[in-house]
């Protein structure tokens, strides 16, 4: 049995309405269970997704880490809140990634990456990204101090992926998958504008080409493209003019690898599609809601099967 855990952000919802949550989706029988309803009054109400909803997901033993815009929440496997942590340099966080004993977070509002120490339970490392004469510069800072970077969002860094070969990250305006090797930042591959969830995979790069409403896997020898699922407009809810300015269907975000040749990708309205990289076909779709404002954000395999 394969179960995915997904977070969602609700764009354009009003005070008193749900602003997303956490769902468990069984890919075998299609059962969908909402385990957290993120309905809180401590929310910034203006503009698009911003402070509303829950974002990236990661795991460490029996602890489930889920990022909100400016706060890192820790749940147990029953989704009871154990703790939460903040840094003055965490703003508009998107994806997170766990490697060895550090959790990495993308801090979109500061063009930065943050590191959270999983043993000492505090923000212990920061890296600010800026444009340089020959590409990008990277400057380390203390995310718990007062001498960090200014609040800037030049690159809209929305993704981080950590593995043995380096720390990979990307954003709407990086125009590529960037890699920090501990000394410098370099661009490993050119990508379109507006991508989410870019990561190295099987000799190539896997990403949500969000502006093109597609999921893509690209290697030097091969390109595979999957269209994001779409619905008849009459089948959607909350499609009035006010909501259209804040949300649209077909927006791809959230991506995880299910196996060597199979991936799952999220989109709006909150839908999870399963794609076969070998056959080049979409093999299943699971719809959480047809509310056009409700968009998948984080997507991972639930490890406690």
Taking only the tens place, the pLDDT of each residue in 246-303 is 678 999 999 999 999 999 999 999 999 999 999 999 999 999 999 988 899 999 999 9
Diameter of the chain by CA atoms? 53
Question: At residue 41, does pLDDT exceed 80?
Answer: no
For the residues 145-155, what does the mean pLDDT come to? 93
Q: What percent of the chain stands above pLDDT 70?
A: 90
CATH number of residue 30's parent domain: 2.120.10.30
Q: What is the pLDDT of residue 154?
A: 96
Q: Give me the chain's average pLDDT, please.
A: 91
Residue 228 sits in which domain range?
3-301
pLDDT band at 15 (very low <50, low <70, confident <90, very high): low
Q: What is the pLDDT of residue 199?
A: 98
Domain count, the chain: 1
pLDDT band at 16 (very low <50, low <70, confident <90, very high): low
């Amino acid at each position: 049995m394969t179960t995915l855990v997904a977070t969602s952000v609700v764009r354009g919802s009003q005070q008193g309405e749900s602003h997303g949550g956490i769902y468990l989706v069984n890919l075998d029988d299609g059962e969908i269970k909402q385990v957290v309803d993120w309905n809180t009054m401590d929310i910034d109400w203006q503009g698009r997704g911003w402070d509303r909803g829950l974002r990236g997901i990661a795991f460490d033993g029996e602890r489930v880490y889920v990022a909100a815009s400016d706060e890192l929440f820790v749940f147990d496997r029953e989704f009871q809140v154990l703790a939460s942590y903040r840094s003055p340099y965490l703003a508009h966080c998107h994806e997170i990634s766990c490697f060895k004993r550090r959790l990495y977070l993308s801090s979109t509002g500061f063009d930065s990456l943050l590191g959270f120490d999983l043993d000492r339970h505090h923000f212990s490392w920061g890296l600010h990204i800026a444009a340089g004469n020959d590409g990008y510069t990277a400057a380390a800072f203390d995310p718990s101090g007062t001498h960090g970077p200014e609040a800037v969002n030049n690159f809209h860094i929305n993704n981080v992926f950590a593995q043995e070969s380096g720390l990979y990250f990307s954003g709407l305006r990086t125009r590529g998958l960037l890699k920090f090797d501990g000394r410098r930042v370099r661009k490993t591959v050119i990508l379109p504008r507006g991508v989410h969830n870019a990561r190295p995979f099987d000799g190539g790069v896997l990403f949500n080409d969000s502006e093109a409403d597609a999921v893509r896997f690209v290697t030097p020898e091969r390109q595979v493209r999957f269209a994001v699922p779409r619905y008849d407009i009459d089948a959607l809810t909350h499609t009035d003019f006010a909501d259209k300015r804040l949300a649209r269907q077909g927006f791809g975000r959230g991506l995880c690898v299910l196996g060597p040749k199979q991936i799952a990708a999220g989109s709006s309205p909150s839908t999870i599609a399963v794609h076969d990289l070998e056959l080049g076909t979409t093999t299943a779709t699971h719809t959480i809601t047809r509310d056009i404002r409700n968009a998948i954000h984080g997507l991972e395999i639930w490890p406690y099967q």
